[in-house]
Amino acid sequence: MPSQTWFTKVESPVGPLTLVADGDDLVGVYFANATVASASPPGWTADERRLRPAAAQLAEYFAGKRKRFDLPLAPRGTPFQRRVWNALLDIPFGETASYGELARAIGKPSASRAVGAANGRNPLAIVIPCHRVIGADGSMTGYGGEIARKRALLDLEARVRGG
């Protein structure tokens, strides 16, 4: 029997977020500018209660009380994308890494462009911290959630880490 896809929308300091679960696993955290956030696909069922743990942990993150998420995650992607997303989880709270550093971390030192593409397809914004990846020169490079959100998330983490 196929699992059920659930969703809810929550407010955050970086704008509305759409949270998506497949069964008990969190499969998506999307900013308002994501296509999936504007219109939930057919077959999805709204259920704030089911996604309450994810919403609560995100609220704790934004309040500076959570540095790592403890949720069952099941991002959908290729094996390469999932390797990149797993490596993102190793970037410490309040720190950043370049695309090249991430490519080396997964054993593919010449794949920084592919790493960037996988990073851009991360379906679990904030929870899998793709916002912590920056250009080799320290620049704020592209971010699916928009650069202003990326800067806000990094600034939040810098404040919490420093305090």
Q: Look at 1-5, 52-56, 66-70, 75-79 and tell me which has the smallest mean pLDDT.
A: 1-5
Give the Cα separation of 155 and 150 in Å (integer): 9
The CA–CA distances, whole Å, from 101 to 3, 120, 129, 139 equal 37, 16, 15, 14
Give the Cα separation of 34 and 51 in Å (integer): 19
Give the Cα separation of 18 and 75 in Å (integer): 15
The pLDDT-based confidence of 1 (bands split at 50, 70, 90) is very low
* DSSP 8-state code for residue 8: E
- Identify the pLDDT of residue 2: 58
Q: What is the arithmetic mean of pLDDT over 23-48?
A: 83
Q: Does 44 have pLDDT greater than 60?
A: yes
Which of the residues are catalytic? 130
The neighbouring-strand residues paired with 145 are none
Residue indicated by tokens 């942990």: 57
**pLDDT tens digits for 69-122?**
999 999 999 999 999 999 999 999 999 999 999 999 999 999 999 999 999 999
* DSSP 8-state code for residue 132: G
Residue 130 in tokens: 């793709």
Query: What are the chain's domains?
Result: 5-62 (3.30.160), 79-162 (1.10.10.10)
Judged by DSSP in three states, 6 sits in strand
Q: In terms of Cα–Cα distance, which of 17, 5, 2, 3 is closest to 126? A: 17
CB 137 within 8 A of CB 71: no
